[in-house]
């Protein structure tokens, strides 16, 4: 199994974002993780299309865009134009999930679905075969720096079982509270992609922190 890491720019230095992007280009990071929040689905607001486009212009790795917004189907083509390579929507925010997944893929992006901590994985039974990625939230979405929810390990195991049963080839991504302490276990139970924010950008050496998590 290939172990991927997607540092979250939510924890980057917004006063000098370009320097952090260049640092990630030079690091072992596989993707750039962008958390998009609207202040409605979650109690926080982050960056919009112009910032994503600016990141895309500098980044040399895929943009993994995580939409924590209501009615994400309104903006799918906008995120494609801004540079998204992987576009993940929340199960809880989509009234017509299958249609939204199909539209994301038709636009040429990889399609992902995120599950909040309280949302069971069996709800993806009818759509997982169409997905490229399932994002398990290991904290409540909205803010960086939260503590990891321990039940996440069991949730990953259940998801892995469902994927085997449905012959799904989707990647399992985990977002929230990921660090050098829990990364090895997360990969071991079935995670393919780890999103790490605070543990990367608050480290003495972000490049070393990325390497430590990726090679756990």
Position 179 pLDDT exceeds 90: yes
Concatenated DSSP letters of 142-210: T-SSPPPPTTHHHHHHHHHHHHHHHT--PEEEEESS--TTTHHHHHHHT-SEEEESHHHHTSS-HHHHH
The pLDDT assigned to 214 comes to 96
Q: What's the pLDDT tens digit per position in 20-46?
A: 999 999 999 999 999 999 999 998 889
Of the chain, the percentage scoring pLDDT greater than 90 comes to 91
The pLDDT assigned to 192 comes to 97
Overall size of the chain counted in residues: 216
Catalytic (active site) residue 64: no
CATH fold for domain 4-214: TIM Barrel (3.20.20)
The pLDDT assigned to 89 comes to 98
Catalytic (active site) residue 126: no
Q: What's the pLDDT tens digit per position in 116-174?
A: 999 999 999 999 999 999 999 999 887 666 689 999 999 999 999 999 999 999 999 99
- The residue annotated as part of the active site, out of 30, 85, 132, 175, is 175
Q: What is the pTM of this model?
A: 0.95
Element of type H or E holding 36 = strand 32-37
The pLDDT assigned to 202 comes to 93
Q: What's the pLDDT tens digit per position in 84-115?
A: 999 999 999 999 999 999 999 999 999 999 99
The pLDDT assigned to 49 comes to 95
- The residue annotated as part of the active site, out of 35, 85, 132, 192, is 35
């Amino acid at each position: 199994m290939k172990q991927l890491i997607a540092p979250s720019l939510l924890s980057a230095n917004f006063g000098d974002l370009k320097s952090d992007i260049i640092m990630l280009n030079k690091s072992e990071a596989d993707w750039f993780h962008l958390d998009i929040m609207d202040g409605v689905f979650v109690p926080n607001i982050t960056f919009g299309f112009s910032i994503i486009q600016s990141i895309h212009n500098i980044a040399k790795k895929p943009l993994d865009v995580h939409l924590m917004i209501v009615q994400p189907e309104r903006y799918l083509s906008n995120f494609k134009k801004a540079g998204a390579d992987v576009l993940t929507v929340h199960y809880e925010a989509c009234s017509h999930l299958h249609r939204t997944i199909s539209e994301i893929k038709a636009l040429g992006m990889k399609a992902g679905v995120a599950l909040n901590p309280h949302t069971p994985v069996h709800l993806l039974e009818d759509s997982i075969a169409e997905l490229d990625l399932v994002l398990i939230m290991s904290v409540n979405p909205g803010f960086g720096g939260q503590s990891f929810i321990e039940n996440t390990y069991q949730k990953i195991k259940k998801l892995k079982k469902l994927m085997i049963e449905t012959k799904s080839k989707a990647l399992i991504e985990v977002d929230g509270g990921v660090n050098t302490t829990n990364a090895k276990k997360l990969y071991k139970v079935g995670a393919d992609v780890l999103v790490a924010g605070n543990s990367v950008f608050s480290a003495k050496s972000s490049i070393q922190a990325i390497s430590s998590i990726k090679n756990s």
